[in-house]
Structure 1
């Protein structure tokens, strides 16, 4: 069966309504356009994100249901708390954003990697402009995990995470939820549910509920220092 999609003009900054996204494949909305800062920000402000492989055109998605975390109510498991007490990972914000973006791509197999060179450059540009942010997890002075995403008002649109050591990405999410909540953050968008997110307690929102949350929260502001480079978890051990 043929699929008819909206083709985006790179000279026109516009997206169709996310309610026009296909049911199969779930959430596919449009193709084409570019990865300019203005287009990416417009996409995230409307519940849309890019996801495509190296040899594909740029594909834009807005799936339903949407995987999310409410940072205020996020609860780490007892086993994760026990692990952290033993290993004392340390966690920072925006201290190595480009490294985190690259590691999110390089630590996956070739058939899993969607973070093309073009995508990585686009998010690094967003980071330099203050829109894309990272969480780094450190152990023995080295980055062993982390995550990154795009901040839109009081919503954080998570893009990817990685682990080089056991539980590193889980600890990144745990301490980021605590930090984000303390900075007036209300919702973390994780796009599509998977086993890893579900194991961490992610919930699902239908598109209409997610879009309504987005419309209200994107107008609200975080504490000004939310994404200033900083430590959000230190141990009694020597700092990295």
Structure 2
């Protein structure tokens, strides 16, 4: 907090054994690439979270490492800042760099990764390229909210109905999203009309929401773990909070 952004970059450039001329060149390049000109000579204690994150990335890339390890590189950032960092990381990868990234932003993982591993409770449960993982899940995705406040009983009845009629290959109930039905169906040619017709004939007349989409990494995660990425993130946060409370009580 008592150093400027430029002083931070210069310090880490020295740690990387860059010569003074190399430091000047690479620091100016990092400042321009990450749009830090407006802030670079201010104390870092005055920086917003987004500017601090950009400075972190600039420091990490300053000495042009062969491998870059990132944990949630765009967490909490506005969309414009995320785009800046994504473009920079794609360019780094294009130039031969290797990125090991941990992230709950699955669109970020899909965009930046050649190989993806899905971890659940510390275990690697699935891995492959983004395309391979989505192909393994197969079919289209249909998400249905039967009503705004659907009971678990109604959701279970509807899911069993669709399974018994063969209209879905697999499915589960997402309690984190109003007990919605998350279905895997064969490639849809009717936009899900047969599913809607079946539900209406069996008493589910007013459907609150109904969407059909291609598989995403979110669907892959849901199929592999039975949980949405949001609920998994919440569980992990609660675990971190408990650990922090224990540490504070011991100090």
Q: Which structure's CA Rg is the greater one?
A: 2
Is the shorter-chain TM-score for this pair beyond 0.5, marking a shared fold?
no
- Larger relative helix fraction: 2
Higher relative contact order, chain-length normalized (CA < 8 Å, sep 6+)? 1
- Larger relative strand fraction: 1
For the superposition of Structure 1 and Structure 2, which TM-score range results when normalised by the shorter chain?
A: under 0.3
Q: TM-score w.r.t. structure 2 length?
A: 0.24
